[in-house]
Structure 1
Amino acid sequence: MNARTEWIVRMAELEIDPARIEAYTALLAEEVETSVAKEPGVLMLHAVSVNGNPERIRILEVYASQQDYEAHLQSPHFLKYKTLTGGMVKSLDLVEVDPIVMCAK
């Protein structure tokens, strides 16, 4: 994937209630898989946890455009995820990043 200037790239940094991590990751997996499958403008969503700290989640998000990002925020599956995980998320920081080189196989 060559980085394009119109892409919207974000890094979400989340802290999840440790007692609810299994429920959270199940909802996250459903939301990520549905978004990539159903939304052409969602180019990539990669979710990982910090090694040894499963409650510290990082999500790399890549959208084709600002319009695609805004459409994603209004999608039924994203709204379901936000509603059901609201009490599980202790903190959320969205970091705006500029793509330099992005490659996938």
Structure 2
Amino acid sequence: MSIPNLDPDLLRAFVVVAERLSFTRAAEQLNRTQAAVSLQVKRLEERIETILFRRSTARVELTAAGEGFLIDARRILALNEQAIARVSGQQVGGQVRIGVMEDYGTKI
């Protein structure tokens, strides 16, 4: 038995659908058609031989396997970004904002 290769594009499509709980909204975010995103998720499910979503005309929800796989998919994508940034000399950057209730954020 060979271990399947996990294509980052398929993982990204899966993560966005899981976060949006909608193939249509995921397609908008990924600048793809809904059919293309649906096909990517189907290819991923076939590759790992696991159903990741329960689909109906009204809803999309993660299966138990999908919930667990989401954690790993996010981690794989983050490591992929870090590796590319490291070899290309780019630093991961940005702003971090912290929300604090006023009771904790004032001086006495």
What is the TM-score when the length of structure 1 is the normalising length?
0.32
Higher strand fraction (1 or 2): 1
Structure with the greater alpha carbon radius of gyration: 2
Higher helix fraction (1 or 2): 2
